[in-house]
Amino acid sequence: MKHTPSSPRRTVRKPAPTPGVQPIRLLLVDDHPVVREGLRSCLTRLPQLEIVGEAASGEEALRQAARLRPDVVLMDINLPGINGLVATARLRDLVPAARVLILSVHENREYLAEVARSGARGYLLKDAAPEELVRAIEAVHRGEGFFSPPVAAAMLASLGGPPVAAARPDAACLTTREQDVLALIAAGQSSKAIAARLGVTLSTVKTLRERLMRKLDLHTVAALTHFAMAQGLCDPARPRPRAR
């Protein structure tokens, strides 16, 4: 596979890390340069994170991980050569201390069962909010698992586990902007009216609506409205849940 030379990167100034606290060392693995650029732009400004390398294939990911010894590997599934799940399984022997967080667009059951067998510590969909991505990285680094609610429910089903009710997230799992959109949906506002009210594009509002539905696993306006009312988002006199 031919790789084109990467363009010069702009230096991004980031806050100094907390004295005595080592940043989490990250390896980004995705065959799409635009995706890696987006991840780098999102994460490089955070003092608790350090991007130490990138890879565009499964084989390159293994070589880079062996050389760089990252703490957390952000791994795509669809890679040229060996795929991300095979690379994840091999990393367990090659770099046992490295923990893998899968980032993918897929949430079908066949992938999720393979993710569980590969030894990955977490699975996040690529449309997750940046705040959720950071929480996932930190959780995986601590040795915890991190799976988006719809992913966790599908994974349990794929492994043949007993039917269980997935814990319903509360409004604190939403960003402040997502809470604002949810409150306006509950108030009966259209997407166009919400865009005008918040000063954002209609496309942004549609993306936020889809993200809300995915995060909360609620897929109708009525269900979102009921949730917003239960969480106090429709009562201006009540403090809103603090976004984590």
pLDDT of the residue at 56 = 96
Are 209 and 108 in the same domain?
Answer: no
- What CATH code is carried by the domain that includes residue 110? 3.40.50.2300
- What CATH code is carried by the domain that includes residue 198? 1.10.10.10
What is the rounded distance in angstroms from the CA atom of residue 113 to the CA atom of residue 183? 36
pTM of the model: 0.60
pLDDT of the residue at 168 = 54
pLDDT of the residue at 19 = 58
Considering the domain boundaries, does residue 81 fall inside one?
Answer: yes
Are 44 and 93 in the same domain?
Answer: yes
Domain count, the chain: 2
pLDDT of the residue at 172 = 74
Considering the domain boundaries, does residue 154 fall inside one?
Answer: yes
Residue among 96, 78, 97, 95 at smallest CA distance from 86: 78
State which residues form the domain around 85. 24-158
Q: Which residues of the chain have pLDDT under 50?
A: 1-12, 162-167, 237-239
What is the rounded distance in angstroms from the CA atom of residue 153 to the CA atom of residue 11? 41
pLDDT of the residue at 5 = 44
What is the rounded distance in angstroms from the CA atom of residue 73 to the CA atom of residue 140? 10
- For 140, counting Cβ atoms within 10 Å of its Cβ (0-12 exposed, 13-18 middle, 19+ buried), the class is buried
Quickly count: other Cβ atoms within 10 Å of residue 116's Cβ: 15
Considering the domain boundaries, does residue 241 fall inside one?
Answer: no
In 44-175, which residue ranges form alpha helices assigned H by DSSP? 58-68, 84-94, 109-118, 130-141, 149-158
Considering the domain boundaries, does residue 10 fall inside one?
Answer: no
Residue where one domain finishes, among candidates 132, 158, 184: 158
Residue among 118, 116, 119, 122 at smallest CA distance from 137: 122
Are 142 and 48 in the same domain?
Answer: yes
Are 29 and 56 in the same domain?
Answer: yes
Are 77 and 133 in the same domain?
Answer: yes
Considering the domain boundaries, does residue 8 fall inside one?
Answer: no
pLDDT of the residue at 70 = 97
Considering the domain boundaries, does residue 15 fall inside one?
Answer: no
Question: DSSP of 12-31, one letter per residue?
Answer: ---PPPPTT-PPEEEEEE-S
How confident is the prediction for the chain on average, in pLDDT? Answer: 80
Are 222 and 187 in the same domain?
Answer: yes
Give the angle subtended at the CA of 112 by the CAs of 209 and 170, to the nearest 5°: 40
Are 35 and 149 in the same domain?
Answer: yes
User: What type of residue sits at position 242?
Assistant: R
pLDDT of the residue at 212 = 86
* Distance from the first to the final alpha carbon of the chain: 41
pLDDT tens, residue by residue, 191-223:
999 999 999 999 999 999 888 888 887 777 777
* Structural contact between residues 46 and 24, judged by C-beta atoms closer than 8 angstroms: no
Are 43 and 126 in the same domain?
Answer: yes
pLDDT of the residue at 225 = 79
